[in-house]
Amino acid sequence: MANVLLVSYAGYPYTPSSLCPDNGLGILAAVLREAGHHVRILDYGTLATVRRLFPQELSQRVAPLLQELSTSAAAQSGSSPLLLQELAKADEALQQHQTRELEAIADEVLRKVDDLEPALVGFKLWNGDGFSGSVAIAERIRCRHPSLCLIAGGPHATWCGPYIYERTDVFDAVILGEAEQRIAELVACAVKGRPLDDLPGIVRSAQDRSVPSASMDLAELPRAVYDEDVYPAMADDQKLKLIVLDDSRGCPYCCAFCTHPYESGQRLRTRPATRIVDDMEAYVCDYGVRAFRFAGSSTPGSLMAEVAQEILRRGLDVAYTSFAHFSSSLPNHFEIMRRSGLRALFFGLETGSEELLHRATGKPLKLDEVVETVRAAKAAGIAVACSMIVPLPFETEETLEESLRLLLALRPDSVPVQFPGLLPGSRWLEEPEAYGFEVDRDQYMRENMDYKIKLLFPPTFWKPLPYKLNGRSFDEFIKITLGFAAKLEANGLLTNVPDDNMLMAELTGMDYRAFRDGARAWCALGLADALQQFVSRFNSAASPSS
């Protein structure tokens, strides 16, 4: 039996979703408890972190600057040099403050290590400040405890793998893929002093070219642990009580832009519907939580229908959302899904051009199926988000017009619009020339590892990512992204509200636009009191007694 400390520092929580409990860490805690170990989770995705990383005096200084920026044409064509100068000064002050707070957080984690004397400390890695901050915390621990086993995991670790060792040698191992398969073995090695070299599914150097190991049977996945003695951040409305459920992993569709087949395999694995609903029922009883989101990247419609029937059979009062795939959705089951508590679905549409669907994304869809599915979901009372990637490879003015016409005809409840990102393991990054990308893969991986989003600036002022698409630089194609979103808004379509945010809005009695605009202000300005009021209201509405 050993003590184990799991740490998640993602930097500043820049969306309300950042405040949700981490199901991955909760499951690892369950795996380790089953192996007889004591576990403590330090999750800094909390309201307390918002308060400490964005001081009130700086919030008051920034508010009028962002108001001026929002009413100018800055997001599209620039603003006054004086305004941008003042924002740059505020951003520099914010970065300096957050650097000082990170040092204090590192000291806190170090004190916890001293108290617990763990055999192993595991870090969930994130991008941006979450990567550089986690490395800084780990290096502080390493200085005092040179022989302590420090490991890293999570999607960002899987993506970056050996590149992490070009930046730091602080981790004894970086786990690739599903950590549930490796974590107990790593702890056993740490306790007994055994070498890690023979363990599959990990990397230990910049030269290591291991790949994610074989995927596990989800029927064997234990229920996540959110007890406050294990997961202290769950106390006192520090987190949103919206639990993510592992319903499925792996994806057989292998869309050209997507990393999920690399992360969790091309074979779709599902958790039995009865086990999913068992988990829901237990979370309602044990933690007073009835709001959920499915974690799968391609949750099949047949599984959702089985879950809905089981929820209704048991008479559970729950509210949930899910990603859905047009290829496997079952429109004739949408009505029963809605009655079971399904509030919103997130579909990856990407484009309104059938040619680009096939050529640029590899999605085997027909737009007639898209139209039928979206209309059936809306008719059943399910909110629909249809995400778009703009511009796509081979995009033209004509294909953009096709996308606009389709969305205006469908009128989904939200259209998340994103620029074309290059994700590790995706065909876009592995075969860039075939899709019109120009990129030095190694340079891109190194720069993207801790790429920082500047909340105080629109994307046109972010540091350009080092790649081109269709001959356009990041600066150039991001303007197309923002211009398309602006056209949707001008035509009365709401943009950039994902399905979990729809659930948050619905349970707190807010319309989607008011929630989106409020959430942007709460996070961009560090309005911790307003965010606290929202979290308390949501947690009250998401409790079984509401």
In three-state form (DSSP H/G/I as H, E/B as E, the rest C), the secondary structure along 306-367 is: HHHHHHHHHCCCCEEEEEECCCCCCHHHHHHHHHHCEEEEEEEEECCCHHHHHHHHCCCCCH
Identify whether 546 is part of a domain. Answer: no
What pLDDT sits at residue 5? 98
Which residue type, as a one-letter code, is found at position 81? P
Give alpha helix (H) positions in 117-242: 129-144, 155-160, 164-167, 183-192
The CATH number covering residue 66 comes to 3.40.50.280
Q: Are residues 189 and 257 in the same domain?
A: no
What pLDDT sits at residue 76? 47
Q: Are residues 182 and 270 in the same domain?
A: no
Q: Are residues 215 and 271 in the same domain?
A: no
d(CA 279, CA 339): 19
Q: Are residues 296 and 150 in the same domain?
A: no
Q: Are residues 205 and 252 in the same domain?
A: no
Which positions of the chain have pLDDT values less than 70? 71-79, 214, 545-546
CA distances (Å), origin 55, targets 58, 93, 408, 456: 5, 10, 42, 14
d(CA 103, CA 133): 9
What pLDDT sits at residue 72? 57
| Residue 397 buriedness (CB in 10 A; 0-12 / 13-18 / 19+) | exposed
Q: Which of 204, 236, 268 is the last residue of a domain?
A: 236
d(CA 435, CA 470): 8
**Strand residue runs (E) in 45-187:** 120-124, 149-153, 173-175
Q: Are residues 161 and 271 in the same domain?
A: no
Identify whether 40 is part of a domain. Answer: yes
| Cβ–Cβ < 8 Å for 32, 188 | no
Which residue type, as a one-letter code, is found at position 309? Q
Helix (H, G, I), strand (E, B) or coil at 198: coil
- The tokens describing 540, both together, are 């009250």
d(CA 114, CA 248): 38
d(CA 477, CA 481): 7
Identify whether 263 is part of a domain. Answer: yes
Q: Are residues 128 and 267 in the same domain?
A: no
CA 426 to chain centre: 17
| Residue 62 buriedness (CB in 10 A; 0-12 / 13-18 / 19+) | buried
Q: Are residues 205 and 340 in the same domain?
A: no
Identify whether 165 is part of a domain. Answer: yes
The CATH number covering residue 330 comes to 3.80.30.20
Residues 527, 14, 42, 503, CA torsion sign: positive
Half-sphere exposure of 422 (CA within 13 A, CB side): 31
Identify whether 371 is part of a domain. Answer: yes
What pLDDT sits at residue 265? 83
Helix (H, G, I), strand (E, B) or coil at 41: strand
In the block, residue with structure tokens 């959920």? 292
Backbone angles phi, psi at 497, to 5 degrees: -125, 105
Q: Are residues 254 and 346 in the same domain?
A: yes
What pLDDT sits at residue 199? 84
Identify whether 29 is part of a domain. Answer: yes
Q: Are residues 292 and 400 in the same domain?
A: yes
What pLDDT sits at residue 214? 65
Number of domains within the chain: 2
Q: Are residues 310 and 374 in the same domain?
A: yes
Q: Which of 236, 268, 284 is the last residue of a domain?
A: 236
Kindly report the pTM of this predicted structure. Answer: 0.94
CA-closest candidate to residue 428, choices 464, 401, 394, 385: 394
CA-closest candidate to residue 154, choices 118, 122, 188, 128: 122
Which residue type, as a one-letter code, is found at position 110? L
Give the DSSP letter string of 495-534: BS--HHHHHHHHHTT--HHHHHHHHHHHHHTT-HHHHHHH
d(CA 156, CA 12): 17
What pLDDT sits at residue 75? 46
d(CA 503, CA 292): 9
Strands 467-469 and 437-439: antiparallel
Q: Are residues 218 and 312 in the same domain?
A: no
d(CA 535, CA 546): 15
Under the phi-then-psi rule, with left for phi > 0, alpha for psi from -120 to 50, and beta for the rest, what region is 436? left
CA-closest candidate to residue 289, choices 544, 533, 16, 47: 544
Domain containing 494 equals 240-541
Half-sphere exposure of 97 (CA within 13 A, CB side): 19
d(CA 473, CA 460): 12
Residues 284, 289, 290, CA angle at the centre, nearest 5°? 80
Q: Which of 168, 203, 236 is the last residue of a domain?
A: 236
d(CA 215, CA 486): 42
